[in-house]
DNA sequence: AGAAACCGTACCAAGGTGGTACTGTTTGCG
DNA sequence: CGCAAACAGTACCACCTTGGTACGGTTTCT
């Protein structure tokens, strides 16, 4: 349906949170609490980010995660690539394990090349956004609780 | 997972097939046979395209579908919008039937504005690709410029 | 030793997607 | 007229992905 998954969105939130406190070791619990998101979700996505080398992890008591890279070098594209894995806008370019093309009509397809171009354009757009730019912007102190939005007319004052 | 659905891809195939024979009434069976795709899939997507006003339909024996618009006016964005319905890259901007925001952490989200900009930029890229270019099998000239990501309106044609 | 915190994996419910089937309706043709 | 071709509409289903949870294991600090 042409949207990034919610997990990826969570990953961006966590990365930005860490990048705004460079070098600081922060527990996943703190991030989850700040955004009022389920802790297992945050930990899951942080594991992925660590596996992709975006953030560092420190185990044991007092441990957590930290971002100590250059926020001007890390791009949105890299983060998304880490979180979602390699992706293509259309599966025409993808191949299965046997190297066999997934799309059976490649040779007759009049839109494949165009799709490939769009694919590259989108990836290029993501590559142009740096983590530093993402981290800039208002970091509000108040957060709307999940339940206040589910029920109508309840979110009066936050 | 950041990909367009296969149905949408089928719709592009069908539209391009029709656009390559302007004004000609072509049965769905012919298109399905040409691409070696299941006929019910093609008919389903052609119904959607007809409902969206992209193609015309002619019932009865000898009937079929035809494209008789201006291929330089119809854009890839319009076709995708017709096939997939309104979409957003992230659900942060979407609202449910009651008008409530789907995302519970909007106010605290440091990436929402950036995502919104990217959303617009991608839609703009799709709008810049015409059906005529699609039918020619050309690579799109659309390039997403960094400036579009934060500017309030989508940039002009490249 | 015990607690804090990350690691790994497995599991599940819900929703979306791709695909099929079937019944109706319209139209051309002999 | 009567049949066949072709679109219209809807309903249905199997499968996969996604969002979310659970649980046990490992590391480290105090
Ligand atoms: S539909 Fe597969 S190559 Fe285009
Ligand atoms: S996560 Fe919803 S506004 Fe960004």
The per-residue pLDDT for range B55-111, each reduced to its tens digit, is: 999 999 999 999 999 999 999 899 999 999 888 877 666 655 555 555 666 666 666
B56 Cβ nearer than 7 Å to chain D strand = no
CB B141 within 8 A of CB B158: yes
Q: In the prediction, which pLDDT does B69 show?
A: 95
**Residues in chain A, total:** 158
Query: What whole-number distance in Å separates Cα of residue A43 and Cα of residue A39?
Result: 6
Q: What is the pLDDT of residue A144?
A: 27
On whether the CB atoms of residues B105 and A37 are closer than 8 A, the answer is: yes
CA–CA gap between residue B85 and residue A108 (Å, rounded): 27
Number of Cβ within a 10 Å radius of residue B4: 22
- Which of B66, B96, B111 is the C-terminal boundary of a domain? B66
Please report the pLDDT score of residue A158 as a whole number: 28
- Both B60 and B102 in a single domain? no
Q: Do A87 and A143 fall into the same domain? A: yes
Which two structure tokens, joined as six digits, stand for B128? 């810049």
pLDDT level of residue B139 (50, 70, 90 thresholds): low
- Smallest CA-to-CA distance from A10 within A89, A87, A80 is with A80
User: Does residue A98 surpass a pLDDT of 90?
Assistant: no
- Is residue B99 included in any domain, yes or no? yes
CB contact under 8 A, A9 and B111: yes
Same domain, yes or no, for A82 and A48? no
pLDDT averaged over every residue in chain A: 77
Distance B119 CA to ligand 1 centre (A): 24
Residue showing tokens 């983060």: A79
**Which residue from A93, A109, A118 has its CB within 8 A of the most atoms of ligand 1, so it is best to mutate?**
A109
B58: three-class secondary structure by DSSP? strand
Q: A116 C-alpha to center of ligand 1: Å?
A: 10
pTM over 0.85, yes/no: no
- pLDDT at A152 > cutoff 60: no
* Same domain flag for B62 and B80: no
Statement to judge: residues B143 and B114 lie in one domain:
yes
Give the end of a domain, one of A66, A89, A106.
Answer: A66
CB-based contact B3 A3, cutoff 8 Å? no
Task: Classify residue A117: in a domain, yes or no.
Answer: yes
Q: Of the residues A66, A85, A105, which one is the last residue of a structural domain?
A: A66
- On whether residue A90 sits in a domain, the answer given is yes
**Residue B104 resides in a domain:** yes
Closest ligand to Cα A140: 2
Q: Cα(A66)–Cα(A79) distance, rounded to whole angstroms? A: 15
Query: Count of domains in chain A?
Result: 2
Both A62 and A82 in a single domain?
A: no
- Would strands A64-66 and B56-58 be described as parallel, antiparallel, or unpaired? unpaired
A102 and A84 in one domain? yes
Same domain as A95, residue A41: no
Residue A156 belongs to some domain of the structure: no
Are A103 and A131 within one domain? yes
Nucleotide nearest to B58 (CA to C1'): D7
**Helix locations, B2-157, DSSP H:** 6-19, 28-35, 39-51, 76-84, 112-127, 131-136, 146-150
Say if residue B154's pLDDT is above 80. no
Residues B146 and B111 in one domain: yes
Do A108 and B9 lie within an 8 Å CB cutoff? no
Q: Which of A60-66's residues contact partners 24+ apart within 8 Å by CB, and which partners?
A: A62/A25, A63/A25, A63/A27, A64/A25, A64/A26, A64/A27, A64/A28, A64/A30, A65/A14, A65/A18, A65/A25, A65/A26, A65/A27, A65/A28, A66/A18, A66/A22, A66/A23, A66/A24, A66/A25, A66/A26
Establish whether residue A92 lines the binding site of ligand 1, counting it when its CB lies within 6 angstroms of any ligand atom: yes
Range of the domain at A119: 76-150
Domain-embedded: residue A144:
yes
Establish if A40 belongs to a structural domain: yes
Distance from CA of A59 to the nearest CA of B (A): 27
Mean pLDDT of chain B: 80
CA neighbours within 13 Å on the CB side: how many for A108?
A: 14
Same domain, A142 and A87: yes
Residues A78-94 as b or e (16 or more Cβ within 10 Å = b): bbbbbbbeebbbbbbee
Statement: the CB of A61 is under 7 Å from strand C = yes
Q: Are residues B61 and B106 in the same domain?
A: no
Cross-chain CB nearest to A35 (options B12, B105, B140) = B105
The larger pLDDT score, comparing residue B146 to residue A4, is at A4
């Amino acid at each position: 349906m042409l949207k990034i998954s919610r997990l990826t969105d969570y990953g961006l939130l966590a990365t930005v949170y860490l990048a705004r406190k460079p070098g600081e070791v922060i527990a996943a619990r703190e991030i989850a609490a700040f955004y009022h998101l389920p802790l297992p979700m945050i930990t899951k996505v942080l594991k992925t980010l660590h596996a992709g080398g975006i953030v560092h992890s420190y185990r044991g008591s007092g441990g957590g995660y930290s971002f100590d890279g250059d926020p001007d070098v890390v791009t949105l594209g890299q983060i998304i690539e880490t979180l979602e894995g390699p992706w293509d806008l259309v599966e025409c370019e993808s191949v299965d394990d046997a190297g066999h093309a997934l799309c059976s009509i490649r040779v007759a397809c009049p839109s494949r090349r165009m799709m490939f171009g769009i694919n590259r354009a989108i990836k290029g757009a993501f590559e142009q956004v740096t983590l530093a730019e993402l981290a800039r912007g208002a970091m509000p102190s108040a957060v709307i609780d999940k339940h206040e939005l589910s029920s109508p007319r309840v979110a009066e004052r936050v």
